[in-house]
């Protein structure tokens, strides 16, 4: 019975996480770290990243776990875990 209550506690602990530590890596290898609230729209983090790296926000796309992340999404919406890594790349035109 003790293991059942321990499993329940682990599940509660995960849902109680308020902040997520994440990093954004640009295609040239530069990496910045952020600690964000789970309900914060990621556009705020993306824009801060672009400002610090002197990049155009509209010219980039952000990839997490193999899928493009929109700025209107939150870490909670994309099931982002602590230590998440987001890849930032320039939009490519042509083929």
- Residue 5: helix, strand or coil by DSSP? helix
pLDDT digits (tens, 9 = 90+) for 70-92: 999 999 999 999 999 999 999 87
Over residues 17-26, the pLDDT tens digits come to 699 999 999 9
Residues 49, 53, 57, 63: what is their CA dihedral angle, to the nearest 10 degrees? -60
Task: Give the pTM.
Answer: 0.78
Average pLDDT, the chain: 86
């Amino acid at each position: 019975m003790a293991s059942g209550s321990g499993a329940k506690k682990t599940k509660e602990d995960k849902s109680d996480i308020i902040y997520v530590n994440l990093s954004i890596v640009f295609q040239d290898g530069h990496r910045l770290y952020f600690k964000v609230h789970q309900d914060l729209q990621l556009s705020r983090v993306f824009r801060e990243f672009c400002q610090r790296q002197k990049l155009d926000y509209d010219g980039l796309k952000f990839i997490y776990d193999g899928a493009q992340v929109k700025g209107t999404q939150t870490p909670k919406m994309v099931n982002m875990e602590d230590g998440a890594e987001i890849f930032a790349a320039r939009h490519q035109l042509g083929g």
